[in-house]
Structure 1
Amino acid sequence: MDIPSNLTTGERIRLLREARGMSRPVLAGLCGRGPDWLKKIESGERPIRSHSLLLRLAGALQLTDLSLITAAGENVAQPVVLGRLTHPAMPAIWKAVMTRPLLLALPETPPDPAALLARVRDAWRLWHTSDHNRTQVGALLPELIQDAEIATRVLEGRPRRSAHEALSEVYRLTGQATAYIAPPEMAWVIADRALTAAQASDNPAAIAAAAWSLGNILRSTAHPDEALEVVEGAASLLRPHLDSAPDDWRGVYGALALHAAVTAARAGRTGDAWRHWDTGDEVAKSLPASYVHPSTMFGRANVDFHQISVATDLSASRQALGLADEVNPDAMPSLERRARLWVEVARGHLQRGDRTAALHVMQIAHGISAETVAYTPSARVAVLDLWREAPRALRPEAGRLAEAIGVAIA
């Protein structure tokens, strides 16, 4: 975009942020700061002298050249690295997804779609119960992708629709396992294939679940309005069926509501965020107390966890920490979701300036699921801030945690 040359750094940041459709709390959060900090930067009340913070702002705004912010000449301009995190499972998954052959080797015996669905659901269980879920699930995905693709090719009628449902589940799981490590073009391919396969299955719940996954991609790429449109459209698809729907259909509907709540919160839309959370809360009340959706983990515990996430994303740290005191983390069967809860609690402590508590809580999260912390951007930002700003006596401990998750502190 053309940026007037007479704008200050703060004015440039505001212009670029608004052009991306990002709220001030969202951009500030991506930089590990609060919205008041960014407001002062944008207004010119506070100069930004930290080169590393300028790079983080540029990265969060998806800029490739720092001079778009600084406009200070070649001596300050610098390319911005927008690379994804790396994981050893990625090459094989990339090959399975991106080099899918036009003609697959077809088996002599037609695959059993029920057995295929069972394998996919076992993989979802592993995703939620392993503390190294990306590694273990990532090893399964290439073969699952191939087998599900073959099944949709060779089966007909109702078995083929079941195979498409399984294929959609495989791609949804692939999207979860490759979040923040897949190149953007691959993330979009995965989301599109999940939705296309779900539509071919002719199963409204599968379509809505695929839309939930697509919403995750849209939200993570700074398209909150489009994410809300997708998940609200999927909710409308399920709503007419809710009175007589199976529990898992209502579970997907509730997960869509929680997704919308967090998306609205990250965009700073307080009223919308709590309205969507209330919808999810009502759905959870309509389901058995022990109910948990097998992939989204929607259920009573996840609704309570999301209440903390919404408060944290709205920078209501006192409320978030008060809510955290009331939840039972062990009620959540997913280690991944449990670790993310503690990341949210750590963020709440950081918002209040309590770095000692934040470090302790982040260590709990790392102990529950090391890979969740290592591959969650908000957790990595929090750990880096802890290392930089922890009390002197705790800096060695914060440094060890940063090294354990691969955050550069040199």
Structure 2
Amino acid sequence: MPTPDETVARAIGERIQNIRTRTGKTREVVAGLVGRSEDWLRDVEKGRLKNPPALDVLLRLGQALGVRDLTEITGDHELLVGIARRAGHPVVPDIREAIESVDLSPAASPIDAVELRARVERAWRLWHTSATPRADAGAMLPQLIRDGRRAVRTLDGEERRAAAAALSGAYALSEQVLAWVADAPLLWLAADRCMSSAETADDPVTLASASWVLGNVWRATGREDDAYRLATDAVALLEPRLDGDQEAQALWGACHLHGAITAAKIGREGDALRGIDQAMGMARALPAGSAHPWTLFGVANAEVSAVSVQVELRKSGGALDAASIVDPDAVPSVDRRARLWLELSRAYAQQRDWLGTLGALRTATSVSEESMRSHPLARSLAVELVTHGGRITERQSRALAGQLGVTC
């Protein structure tokens, strides 16, 4: 007969699995967010542990699953623990304050919409070029968001629409910075504000850009079908502007890449490969060096996305083949360069090639340790290396896990 603790552990595990399944999150992602292995989470969900996880672990699980009240997991209505707010990086509280606060005071001086846009674009360049993008770009965002909100409130006509487009860009960057290090409600709010500002700007390119951002959030939170439809709608919105408008052309290609990765996550291989082909055709047609400031769409970006598509389709051999033609130094974003190596690490892990997994993940970490510490897939892979890599990689795997802030 099961002990009381075993019965409680089984009930908690069932609730965790039900919440995870309902929200469309994979074991790999949830386990990575709490710094544990996929096998450990499977044991938790199946009630194979003699005792339920400790409170601090339950809190991290609640954060990863996006629950607002820990009783959704524990079922103990006497235990009320608010866990909605999460700060997995020092920049999160200040960005949260800028997004959530209400400031009705007039601007101390007029805010120039053109200058506001230039500041937003500088922040995006910093995001793409820094090895610590969250720390560096994130530090610029609170004031950008405050100034953008005041500009939209105080300007009129075309200036107001231009300010709204710039503010949409600031919210879009905040979504990138907050992903995986903030709670789901704050991430959703940033994406919603991004789209709302784009609607105020009333510009097809800005609306499609915001759709790219919102689609990223939908894809990450289990709404892949909605995300794919949104990417398709954004492509259609841009179609009339493709003749001679390089920004629209680049964003059209970026939306195809977003749709391709989303289609791959839900097993629609034909749509995924077709999206990569269409995006690559546009990338090759654009002048060298041209890029949308948010997405940095281009040939190298399309090649990295092709690797991601193969990994999502669990075709590890195809992912390694796709990666063989990518020049990492040509990838214009440090964060995405690190992501390329992370995708290679995932491909090697699918083949149970733990030496390859370790080597690729170490390279990803050397490119941007901050990005890998923040990404649940990197943290999950670090745990998998320790638990499955064997004696030959154990010492190096434990050192890497510690570098990524994971306790094994």
Identify the residue that residue 105 of structure 1 maps to in structure 2. Answer: 106
> Letter of the aligned partner of 2:96 in structure 1?
W
Question: Where do residues 154-233 of structure 1 align in structure 2 (5 Å cutoff)?
Answer: 154-233=154-233
> Letter of the aligned partner of 2:135 in structure 1?
T
TM superposition score normalised by structure 2: 0.83
Question: Where do residues 389-404 of structure 1 align in structure 2 (5 Å cutoff)?
Answer: 389-404=388-403
After superposition, give the CA deviation of every residue in 1:222-268 in whole Å (9 maximum; x if it has no partner): 111111122211211111221x2411111111111111111111112
Paired with 2:84 and 2:147, the residues of 1 have a C-alpha distance of 33
Q: 1:405 to 1:364 in 2, by over 3 A?
A: same
Unaligned runs of 5+ in 1: 1-7, 42-46
Q: 1:273 to 1:16 in 2, by over 3 A?
A: farther
After superposition, give the CA deviation of every residue in 1:80-139 in whole Å (9 maximum; x if it has no partner): x898561111111111111132x133223x222111111110110000111111011111
Identify the residue that residue 307 of structure 2 maps to in structure 1. Answer: 308
Identify the residue that residue 88 of structure 1 maps to in structure 2. Answer: 90
Verify the 8 A CA contact 2:91 2:135 in the aligned structure 1: yes
Paired with 2:367 and 2:163, the residues of 1 have a C-alpha distance of 34
Question: Where do residues 337-376 of structure 1 align in structure 2 (5 Å cutoff)?
Answer: 337-376=336-375
Q: 1:278 to 1:32 in 2, by over 3 A?
A: farther
Verify the 8 A CA contact 2:87 2:183 in the aligned structure 1: no
Identify the residue that residue 274 of structure 1 maps to in structure 2. Answer: 273
CA RMSD in angstroms comes to 3.4
SS of 1:387's equivalent in the other structure is helix
Verify the 8 A CA contact 1:356 1:391 in the aligned structure 2: no
After superposition, give the CA deviation of every residue in 1:166-187 in whole Å (9 maximum; x if it has no partner): 1111111111111112222211
Q: 1:363 to 1:226 in 2, by over 3 A?
A: same
> Letter of the aligned partner of 2:106 in structure 1?
A
May I ask how many residue pairs the two structures share in their alignment? 382
Paired with 1:373 and 1:283, the residues of 2 have a C-alpha distance of 30
SS of 2:311's equivalent in the other structure is helix
SS of 1:326's equivalent in the other structure is coil
> Letter of the aligned partner of 2:125 in structure 1?
R
Verify the 8 A CA contact 2:341 2:363 in the aligned structure 1: yes
After superposition, give the CA deviation of every residue in 1:126-173 in whole Å (9 maximum; x if it has no partner): 001111110111111111111111111222221111111111111111
Question: Where do residues 378-389 of structure 1 align in structure 2 (5 Å cutoff)?
Answer: 378-389=377-388
Q: 1:89 to 1:106 in 2, by over 3 A?
A: same
SS of 1:312's equivalent in the other structure is helix
Paired with 1:32 and 1:348, the residues of 2 have a C-alpha distance of 18
> Letter of the aligned partner of 1:90 in structure 2?
V
Identify the residue that residue 5 of structure 1 maps to in structure 2. Answer: none
Paired with 2:63 and 2:270, the residues of 1 have a C-alpha distance of 29
Unaligned runs of 5+ in 2: 1-10, 33-37
SS of 2:26's equivalent in the other structure is helix
Verify the 8 A CA contact 1:208 1:237 in the aligned structure 2: yes
TM superposition score normalised by structure 1: 0.83
Paired with 1:82 and 1:193, the residues of 2 have a C-alpha distance of 19
Paired with 1:66 and 1:262, the residues of 2 have a C-alpha distance of 33
Q: 1:265 to 1:401 in 2, by over 3 A?
A: same
Using CA pairs under 8 Å that are at least 6 residues apart, name the structure with larger relative contact order, 1 or 2: 2
Q: Does 1:236 align with 2:264?
A: no
> Letter of the aligned partner of 2:276 in structure 1?
W
Question: Where do residues 24-35 of structure 1 align in structure 2 (5 Å cutoff)?
Answer: 27=26, 29-30=28-29
Deviation at 1:315, TM superposition (A): 0.6
Q: Does 1:264 align with 2:263?
A: yes
